[in-house]
Each structure stands twice: as C-alpha cells, then as structure tokens.
Structure 1
Amino acid sequence: MPMAPVAPRRLLRVKDAAEVLGFKRSTAFEEIRRGRLRSVKVGGLRLIPTEYIDEYIELLKRESNAR
C-alpha cells in the first residue's frame, strides 16, 4: 500500500527556521526580539509560521533595494 504524501510543515521551531534562513538560532531570536521576524507561542514553544519567513525575506529584499 503506497504511503500518503506528507504535507510540508507550516510551523517551524526557531532553530529550524534559522536553518532555512541560513543563520544561527541566536540570530533568529535576536530578529524576533527586534520585531523583524514574527513568531507565535503555542504552549511554551515559540514557532515561526512559514509565511512569516516569507515576510522576513521580503523585508530583507526591501532593505537591500533601499541602499
């Protein structure tokens, strides 16, 4: 019996989001603290929805174009 396809995760732990973005976990937490990378809390866990990663990348692109 074939396995059903697994949907991609839409909520990432901070360390996983940092890996996707190509920097360290501490940098991700700093960007969250500064309000540049949004996150949500579920219980005691801080998670980053994938659309917030996309928003953050767009922010970086805007900032790069402004220079």
Structure 2
Amino acid sequence: MPDTVPEPPPRVLSDAARRALAEAEERRRAADAARTPLPPEVNGRGGPEPVRYGDWEVKGIISDF
C-alpha cells in the first residue's frame, strides 16, 4: 500500500483572477521600488522596537505609551 497521496489536478484560474494576480504583483513591485532603506540609527537604544511591542523598557523600568 503506497503512502503517497495523489496530487490534485492543477487549478484553473479565470481571466479576472489572472488579471487580479498580475495587478497585485505589479503593485507589490512598485511599493518595493518606492521604499527607501532607512539610515542606521546613531547612538540609539538596543533591544526590540518599543513602538512594535507597545512599551519602552530601560534598566528594568517599563513605561507604557
């Protein structure tokens, strides 16, 4: 008895779905091209980004925003 599962048939996309996927890919490429890398922070604090985690911790003292 084989342990493999037969592959499902390939999905057939409508013309509208293909256009939507192409437009989404074009928007992703345009957004990536427009994004400029930020310069490195000089004398900044280490650790996780405080805005992302919702609090700021310095020497064990936490300040919530």
- What band does the TM-score fall into relative to the shorter chain? 0.3 to 0.5
Larger RCO (CA within 8 A; separation ≥ 6): 1
TM-score between both structures, scaled by the size of structure 1:
0.31
Whichever of the two has the greater Rg, that structure is: 2
TM-score between both structures, scaled by the size of structure 2:
0.32
Choose between structure 1 and 2: higher strand proportion: 1
